Structure 1
Amino acid sequence: MNRRIKGISIVFVLIFSFSVYTDIFAQVEFHGFVRNHSVFRIDKPNDAMLLRNRLRLNPELYGDNIYGFASLDILNDPAGENKTLTDLREAYLDIYSSFVDLRIGKQQVVWGKADGYFINDIVNPLDLSYFLLQDFDDIRMATTMINTKIHIGNQSLEVLMIPEFKPMKINYKGYWAFQRPDSIDLLVYPINSVVISLPMYYQPDEIAKKSLRKAEYGFKFNTFLLGTDLSLIFLKIREDKAVFFKQIVTDDNGLPSGVNLFPSHPWIDFYGLNFS
């Protein structure tokens, strides 16, 4: 058993023990499921592209004006690397009052979606390592944040503070790899129309550490007007899909020999409107 599994097991034991020996949580429930997701190639070489086994455990803790939830996945894919992986998908604590609701921890936030599309649902990054074969709840990756919801009559204001940044997850190796170009044509001498093909070198993505000073944030105002449920959204977030900047590499003679591509995640302002 590796350190990560031990650490997650200790967390589950502590949460369960805390709920049993205190009066804060009056009820403890465990849910979960076992699922196999298999994909086979019908053309040659007629092999298995995916044999993914998933065990999910969801403990829930109920109490007066308080609620706790965690979701743990144990995954194995014999058709892939055949390693047993653990993933603490979500782990958060809810605190309720008549005026303010507070959710702290690793969570998913859905601010509008349509069937088959992610429209205003851009708070959490996406896991596209298996393209769209997974359920939406599995494609959406939870992030650590503070979610505050203020109630005023039939109106509410939801405020997000997100100190953790996660980029979109994409595979570049294996059956489900995203095919990106490995060379680029460069026009060297426009007068003579000389074009050379240069190799491209993708540099690693450097992800910033959790920081309140550089946290993403957002607001959602919800009201009921003329029989319509109306929501106004603003998000100040970083682009989770990498934007690449190129740098020409030259040899000792000053001639271009390659292109370095540096990923970045620029800040964007997002405005949205939901109604139903």
Structure 2
Amino acid sequence: MRILLFALAFIISITLTLSNFSRADVRGYVKTTGYYFTDKGELIYGNKKMIGIELGMKFSFPFYDLGKGSSSFKFYANNLTGTPDNKLSLNEGYLDIYTSEVDLRLGKQYIFWGRADGTDTPTNNINPRDLTRIKPDPEEERIAVDALKANWYVNDSLVIQGVWIPEFTPSKLPEIPLPSFIILGKPITPSSELKNSSWGLKIDKFTRGVDFSFDYLYGWDSFPDYKINLPYFVPTYNRIKIYGADFSTGIKGFDVRGEAAYFQTRDKKGDSLSIKNPYLQYVFEMGYPVTDNLNIIGQLIGKNIYHFKSPSDYPPSEQAIAKELSVFYGEQKKSQYSLLTHITYSTWYDKLKLEFIGIYNLTMHDYFLSPKISYELGKGLNLGFGAMVFEGKSDTQFGMMDNQDFVWLETKYSF
């Protein structure tokens, strides 16, 4: 039933796009991106030099007097996964219906929760991620999902949002080098049944001094646990409950934001070797507009593992497995702390933009750097250049990508 419902929304969206084409707002872009990997060693993405071409189109159109519809498509031709890859995909396709108190959106869409800078924040967990294609903009890693979203505007200062996601979509992971004793098995994913749906609730409150929200998501972990049946590690997707909260305020010229989320995994007591332990993630952020052109953001990021066990706490026969899983799950230490800085600067009437993102893990001592520069050559035409640098030991998040450093060059024309 739900498949038919979303298929109907898609068909209506496409039909209205064609029938209302003369009234549609049509936008799009064409971009070409080249990558060059600077390190030696085995590459996750296959080629030392890669290039990709992408065409994106978005159509927005009126839906009688009830709201609007929107469809966006992407076509890309590239070798970003190591082999030639040509694909036309529906990026988004949904219908919006507006009433005096409630707005509805039905279809394939992005749903972002949280107030902190960036998309990889503790409470932003509805859309999975595509990590199989390297992209200069981390926001492009997110994957749209089929969903029904409802916003109830209780009053001017209170909004309640409900979300229903009928089917599970996992994150896409690259094939990373594994120890010789590990073979990845066929993933086990939840079946397309009503009982396997996901849903969430978010309450937003807006006040004169502080904006804040509370949220709850009953869903599936988009990153797998690994069922052990040596030599096989079988990716298995389990239920997860996420309790979150966020806030934003201003203090003496500083923008202050924070998020926290508790992830209640299937292994509530931490007894299982193969399932992630429950954990708490949080971020505290301060941003300051130094000038109209220069903005600096700093974040303290934390993660606490409940019922933590180090690999040495397991029997000798399980310690090698426990060590590998601790890296996959980010459970190397009971508590981890990281610092992030995000600096943006624009000049020449906003034609030239400089940006820098850096993350340093204070606990594991690995880090990530991403400088980039973009210049507007003409109306709608931009040239971008940047790099991504990963550094750390092999048993750390960024250290796993240590030989994947690259530079990129991109041209993009928007219309």
Pairwise CA distance, 1:235: 0.5
Does the aligned pair in 1 maintain the 2:14–2:71 contact within 8 Å? no
TM-superposed deviation, 1:161: 0.6
Equivalent AA in structure 1 for residue 197 of structure 2: A
- Equivalence for 2:241: 269
- Cα deviation, 1:176-206, whole Å, max 9, x if unaligned, reads xx233332xxxxxxxxxxxxxxxx2211113
| 1:182 aligned partner | 180
Distance 1:95 1:117 in 2: 26
Paired residues of 1:113 and 1:121 also in contact (CA < 8 A): no
**Equivalent residue runs for 1:31-110 within 5 Å:** 31-42=27-38, 48-63=48-63, 64-78=65-79, 80-110=82-112
1:155 and 1:11 mapped to 2: Cα distance? 32
Correspondence 1:127 to 2:124: no
Q: Deviations over 1:234-270 (max 9, x none)?
A: 111111111101124xxxxxxxxxx222211111111
Tell me the distance in 2 between the aligned counterparts of 1:87 and 1:71: 9
Number of residues of Structure 1 aligned to a counterpart in Structure 2: 229
Describe the superposition over 1:214-247 as per-residue Cα deviations: whole angstroms up to 9, x where unpaired: 1011000011235211110111111111110112
* Percent identity of paired positions between Structure 1 and Structure 2: 25
Residues 125-204 of structure 1: pairs in structure 2 closer than 5 A: 125-131=128-134, 133-153=135-155, 154-172=157-175, 178-183=176-181, 200-204=182-186
| Residues 73, 89 of structure 1: 8 Å contact kept | yes
> Is the partner of 1:74 in helix, strand or coil?
strand
Alignment gaps of 5+ in structure 1? 1-9, 21-25, 173-177, 184-199, 249-258
8 Å contact 1:38–1:48 — kept in the other structure?
Answer: no
C-alpha distance in 2, partners of 1:57/1:44? Answer: 37
Match of 2:225 among 225, 233, 243: 243
Q: Secondary structure at the match of 1:118?
A: coil
- In the alignment, which residue of structure 1 is the partner of 2:368? none
2:15 is paired with a residue whose SS is helix
Compute the TM-score of the two structures, normalised by the length of structure 1.
0.75
Report the CA distance between 1:125 and its aligned residue. Answer: 0.3
Q: Secondary structure at the match of 1:75?
A: strand
The answer on whether the counterparts of 1:166 and 1:207 sit within 8 Å (CA) in structure 2 is no
Unaligned runs of 5+ residues in structure 2 are: 1-10, 42-46, 249-415
Residues 11 and 159 from structure 1, CA distance in 2 versus in 1: closer, same or farther, beyond 3 angstroms? closer
RMSD, aligned α-carbons? 2.4
Match of 1:188 in 2: none
Distance 1:219 1:34, change over 3 A: same
- Aligned residue in 2 for 1:228: 210
Distance 1:92 1:209, change over 3 A: farther
Greater gyration radius? 1
- Counterpart of 1:15, as a letter, is L
Report the AA paired with residue 91 of structure 1.
Answer: G
Please say if 1:205 is aligned against 2:187. yes
Three-state SS of the structure 1 residue aligned to 2:173 is coil
